[in-house]
């Protein structure tokens, strides 16, 4: 009964948040002074597009953006289109559909970030736990360098790595997902090429992530090492092995949550890395869309980030509700 | 005697930050600043006329760096102040009042926390046409107040039950006065630390937005310098003077502020300091036990004497993690993107 109350409450909260987010995503681009459609068509006109095709594009945009309807009507059209995964047409790359642009870019972003997050998480946690257990100079060195890495803005590390490993010492290609001449295909040469371009952006992300995880895991492990249950367990004469297992289980819980949340922020987490390395993912797409005032593309990308973050937060909270009865009780108002 | 409480870490980070501020405030006065003036060609290397070379428009990088640092610091300061103010007001009201007020305010806060900051930042920055420095700061503040609100609420609701507040209430003090004179002082140290982190988060958020091409219009900031350097392909041309100085300054600011916050934690929180030695010792013993396991029985004497006590132990739930988790997660990974 309590579990159901918790689940319903959480679901309502996240539905509310989703609705607020959708309204923001819908409203903010429409707050732009002047009409984005007029601006973009005027720009096309300057680049010498025929008048009648301009007229056609303008009409299409007006319909696409629903500018002929009332605000409320526009909002429902927008929701209806979203339900069909129809994200509209790109302004700058007319008549390309936004869905197509996104589905081209998304695999690059996920392929770059997901391994970086997973490997960074594993290595970082192992390093942090080891530092906490070992102590001494190893701990101090690992802790300080992790702290430095985790507090460094990730794009700063990306810029430094790019300069050091691709320009000063030309070991790796300086940018792009693959050699400019080639086209994506399933061949060995292309895969090797992709891997060569993969290293630098991957390293820049993974190092930062290892740092953050190690700092967190180290402090959690040290905290657990001297908590009451450890002393009690020792007093009872439990074996070290057993105690360490308990410590590990308790220290891991927040880290697992962190992993789930980072996977949720995956799309929006490192937009600038892609820009620095001109990697053909969502970040680069957003960068060019902002430069061209391509509102449908900007809106679609922010929407994807939004839904991913909300969904992962929601799933984590639901999972916590199942795992930990205390959280369930306190959230259901029985403090 | 009070001064003795400051750790070396505090002094190092405070001095580094003070130097950065001095560079931004005094630099333009001492060296003179003439922004937007052509002093050379495209990517001239450092020389006696332009100490850090020129950028992709032939402007002096050193001048840009002084003014850019100033802009970044102003945005950080204003955004930090506004965000902390909103967060403290919301958190205090919710924590002190309780009941419906608390439910409503925390509902808003939780929704605002759930919506990723980067999305609101991008959309707002796209939506406003002319982005003045203050407008940028306010936009950033709008997305970063909720975690301060939540932390302050937690503290305020624990202060609420203290006896001296009952005395104040019985003596007929107004709620406003109680909040200002009896509740707020207990939270000041906490708010100070939250403010430091808000400043650093805002500076990084600004740099991230500027890198995306959404920086303050008509001025230069550290992020805008990086944006110019990337767009102007200074990286591929090996013009390190265009991107290295802003990169170093951003890292320096972020690191100094983070260290400052964690050392302030020890200064303000005597329990944390006194407990540190005990806890450290216990941690040492525990770590020794763990090591004995790892090395499967061969317990070396020196591994038992673990130096874990040397480093401050951030206490989950009380110190760094609560204050730090908000801006760290959102701004480091996404807010500043």
Mean pLDDT of B261-269: 77
Half-sphere exposure of B289 (CA within 13 A, CB side): 22
CB-based contact, A142 to chain B, within 8 Å: no
Considering only alpha carbons, which residue of chain B is nearest residue A294? B126
Residues of A in contact with B245 (CB under 8 A): none
Q: What is the pLDDT of residue A202?
A: 92
* Cβ atoms A75, A28 nearer than 8 A: no
A73 burial via Cβ count (<10 Å: 0-12, 13-18, 19+):
exposed
B228 vs A70 pLDDT, higher one: B228
When pLDDT is cut at 50, 70 and 90, the band that residue A66 belongs to is: low
When pLDDT is cut at 50, 70 and 90, the band that residue A193 belongs to is: confident
The answer to whether B307 contacts A20, with C-beta atoms less than 8 Å apart, is no
SS3 content of chain B, % helix, strand, coil (to 5): 75, 0, 25
Q: What is the pLDDT of residue A245?
A: 79
The answer to whether B122 contacts A225, with C-beta atoms less than 8 Å apart, is no
What residues 316-335 of chain B have any CB closer than 8 A to a CB of chain A?
A: 316, 320-321, 328-329, 332-334
| Cα–Cα nearest to B116, from A88, A309, A105, A14 | A309
CB-based contact, A219 to chain B, within 8 Å: yes
B198-227 pLDDT, tens digit per residue, is 999 999 999 999 998 888 888 889 999 999
Considering only alpha carbons, which residue of chain A is nearest residue B281? A226
Q: What is the pLDDT of residue A35?
A: 67
Q: What is the pLDDT of residue B296?
A: 29
d(CA B122, CA B337): 9
B266 vs A145 pLDDT, higher one: A145
Q: Using the predicted structure, report yes or no on whether residue B243 has a pLDDT greater than 80.
A: yes
Q: Return mean pLDDT, chain A.
A: 81
What contacts A213, CB < 8 A, 6 or more positions away?
Answer: A120, A121, A123, A124, A125, A127, A128, A255, A258
| Cα A126 off chain centre by | 23
What contacts A67, CB < 8 A, 6 or more positions away?
Answer: A35, A37, A61, A74
Q: What is the pLDDT of residue B199?
A: 94
Considering only alpha carbons, which residue of chain B is nearest residue A145? B255
* Cβ atoms A89, A98 nearer than 8 A: yes
Q: What is the pLDDT of residue A332?
A: 54
What residues 73-112 of chain A have any CB closer than 8 A to a CB of chain B?
A: none
d(CA A152, CA A211): 10
A49-64 pLDDT, tens digit per residue, is 667 777 777 777 777 6
Output the six-digit token pair for A92.
């700058």
* Cβ atoms B212, B118 nearer than 8 A: no
Least confident of A14-28, A246-260, A273-287, B288-302: B288-302
A212 burial via Cβ count (<10 Å: 0-12, 13-18, 19+):
buried
CB-based contact, B306 to chain A, within 8 Å: yes
d(CA A42, CA A91): 12
What contacts B20, CB < 8 A, 6 or more positions away?
Answer: B69, B73, B249, B252, B253, B256
Q: What is the pLDDT of residue B320?
A: 33
* Cβ atoms B76, B202 nearer than 8 A: yes
The answer to whether A223 contacts B236, with C-beta atoms less than 8 Å apart, is no
Q: Using the predicted structure, report yes or no on whether residue A309 has a pLDDT greater than 60.
A: yes
The answer to whether B235 contacts A167, with C-beta atoms less than 8 Å apart, is yes
CB-based contact, A138 to chain B, within 8 Å: no
Considering only alpha carbons, which residue of chain A is nearest residue B314? A219
* Cβ atoms B115, A24 nearer than 8 A: yes
Q: What is the pLDDT of residue A281?
A: 87
DSSP A45-66: HHTT--HHHHHHHHHHHHHHHT
Mean pLDDT of B280-292: 38
Q: What angle, 0 to 180 degrees and rounded to 10, lies between the N-to-C axes of helices B61-97 and B99-114?
A: 150
When pLDDT is cut at 50, 70 and 90, the band that residue A171 belongs to is: confident
CB-based contact, A247 to chain B, within 8 Å: yes
A248 burial via Cβ count (<10 Å: 0-12, 13-18, 19+):
middle
d(CA B152, CA B154): 5
Q: How far is B335 from chain A (nearest CA, A)?
A: 8
Q: What is the pLDDT of residue B273?
A: 53
When pLDDT is cut at 50, 70 and 90, the band that residue B17 belongs to is: very high
* Cβ atoms B287, B294 nearer than 8 A: no
Least confident of A82-86, A101-105, A119-123, B269-273: B269-273
Residues of A in contact with B323 (CB under 8 A): none
d(CA A294, CA B68): 28
Mean pLDDT of A38-49: 68
Q: Chain A interface, mutation test: which of B12, B109, B110, B126, most A Cβ atoms within 10 Å?
A: B126
> How many pairs of residues across A and B have Cβ atoms under 8 Å apart?
219
A203-216 pLDDT, tens digit per residue, is 999 999 899 889 88
Q: What is the pLDDT of residue B298?
A: 27
Q: What is the pLDDT of residue A261?
A: 82
| Cα–Cα nearest to A272, from B72, B113, B243 | B243
When pLDDT is cut at 50, 70 and 90, the band that residue B71 belongs to is: very high
Mean pLDDT of B285-312: 31
């Amino acid at each position: 009964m309590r579990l159901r109350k918790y689940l319903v409450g959480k679901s309502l909260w996240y539905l509310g948040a989703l609705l607020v987010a959708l309204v923001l995503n819908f409203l903010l681009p429409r707050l732009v002074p002047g009409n984005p459609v007029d601006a973009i068509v005027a720009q096309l006109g300057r680049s010498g597009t025929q008048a009648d095709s301009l007229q056609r594009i303008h009409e299409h945009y007006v319909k696409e953006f629903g500018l002929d309807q009332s605000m409320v009507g526009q909002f429902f059209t927008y929701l209806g289109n979203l339900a069909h995964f129809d994200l509209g047409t790109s302004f700058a790359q007319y008549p390309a559909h936004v869905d197509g642009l996104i589905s081209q870019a998304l695999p690059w972003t996920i392929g770059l970030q997901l391994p970086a997050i997973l490997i960074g998480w594993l290595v970082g946690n192992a390093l942090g736990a080891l530092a906490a257990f070992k102590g001494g100079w190893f701990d101090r060195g690992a802790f300080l360098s992790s702290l430095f890495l985790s507090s460094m803005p990730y794009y700063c590390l990306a810029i430094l790595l790019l300069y050091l490993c691709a320009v000063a010492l030309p070991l790796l290609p300086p940018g792009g997902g693959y050699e400019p001449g080639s086209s994506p295909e399933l061949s060995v040469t292309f895969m090797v090429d992709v891997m060569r371009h993969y290293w630098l952006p991957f390293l820049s992300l993974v190092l930062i992530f290892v740092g953050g995880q190690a700092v967190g895991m180290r402090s959690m492990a040290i905290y657990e090492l001297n908590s009451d249950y450890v002393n009690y367990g020792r007093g009872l004469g439990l074996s070290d092995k057993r105690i360490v297992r308990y410590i590990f289980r308790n220290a891991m819980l927040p880290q697992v949550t962190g992993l789930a949340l980072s996977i949720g922020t995956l799309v929006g987490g490192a937009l600038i890395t892609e820009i620095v390395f001109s990697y053909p993912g969502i970040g680069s797409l957003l960068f060019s869309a902002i430069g061209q005032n391509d509102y449908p593309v900007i809106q679609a990308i922010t929407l994807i980030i939004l839904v991913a973050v909300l969904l992962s937060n929601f799933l984590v909270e639901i999972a916590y509700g199942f795992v930990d009865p205390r959280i369930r009780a306190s959230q259901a108002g029985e403090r | 005697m009070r001064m003795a409480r400051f750790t070396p870490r505090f002094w190092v980070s405070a001095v580094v930050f003070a130097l950065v501020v001095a560079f931004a405030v005094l630099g333009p006065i001492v060296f003179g600043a003439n922004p937007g003036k052509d002093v050379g060609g495209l990517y001239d290397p450092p020389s006696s006329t332009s100490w850090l070379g020129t950028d992709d428009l032939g402007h002096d990088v050193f001048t840009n760096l002084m003014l850019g640092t100033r802009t970044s610091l102003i945005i950080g300061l204003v955004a930090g102040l506004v965000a902390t103010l909103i967060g403290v007001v919301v958190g205090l009201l919710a924590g002190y009042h309780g009941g419906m007020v608390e439910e409503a305010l925390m509902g808003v806060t939780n929704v605002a926390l759930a919506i990723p900051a980067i999305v609101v930042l991008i959309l707002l920055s796209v939506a406003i046409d002319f982005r003045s420095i203050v407008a940028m700061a306010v936009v950033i503040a709008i997305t970063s107040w909720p975690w301060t609100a939540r932390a302050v609420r937690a503290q305020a609701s624990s202060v609420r039950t203290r006896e001296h507040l009952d005395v104040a209430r019985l003596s007929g003090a107004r709620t406003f006065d109680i909040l200002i004179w009896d509740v707020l002082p207990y939270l000041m140290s906490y708010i100070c630390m939250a403010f430091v982190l808000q400043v650093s988060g805002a500076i990084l958020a600004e740099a991230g937005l500027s890198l995306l091409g959404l920086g303050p219009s008509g001025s230069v900031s550290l992020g805008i310098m990086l944006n110019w350097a990337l767009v102007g392909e200074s990286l591929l041309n090996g013009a390190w003077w265009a991107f290295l100085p802003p990169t170093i300054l951003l890292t320096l600011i972020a690191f100094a502020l983070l260290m400052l916050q964690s050392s302030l934690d020890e200064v303000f929180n005597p329990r944390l300091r006194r407990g540190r030695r005990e806890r450290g010792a216990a941690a040492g013993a525990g770590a020794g036990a763990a090591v004995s396991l790892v090395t499967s029985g061969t317990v070396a004497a020196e591994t038992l004497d673990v130096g874990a006590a040397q480093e401050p132990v951030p206490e989950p739930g009380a110190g760094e993690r609560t204050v730090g988790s908000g801006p760290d997660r959102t701004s480091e990974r996404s807010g500043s993107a």
